[in-house]
Amino acid sequence: MTITIGEQLHSLLGALLLGVAAGLWYDLLRTLRYRCTPGIAVMLLDLLFWVLVTAALFCWSVAAGRGVVQISICAALLVGFLLYFRLFSPLVSPLLRRLVGRLAALLHWIWAPFGFLGHKCAACGKKVVLFCKKLFSFLQK
């Protein structure tokens, strides 16, 4: 079983494009990481990045490389990733930051009424808890 040069070129170009897509995915997650406080959310975003990139590399290797994960495919993915960061990231990253900022502002605007109701319900809940404590302490006497 031999792989023709055309098939090898196809798998390398596909891995190169997969690397560019991985760079775009990383830029999006990096923008989200800037908006998160350090902790579990940042770790989950990192885990999500690596799980999806590894799965994409595996699926591409199975589809294009006849089930063989070749070092050349991994290298082409890395070259595509670095190519994205050298050429496209300076242009795309500010756009993603603006888009995520506007989306966050929209979600904040949508969520604001629920937050106000949550504060009111929390105040009422505290009063109910205090009333119940007084009631049960009176009944125990």
What digits encode the pLDDT tens for the residues 28-65? 888 888 877 778 888 888 899 999 999 998 888 888 87
Burial of 126 (0-12, 13-18, 19+ CB in 10 A): exposed
Percentage of the residues of the chain whose pLDDT score is greater than 90: 26
Determine the average pLDDT of the residues in 61-83.
86
What dihedral angle (degrees, nearest 10) is formed by the CA atoms of 133, 136, 137, 141?
A: 170
CA atoms within 13 A on the CB side of 91: 5
Q: Is the pLDDT of residue 136 over 80?
A: no
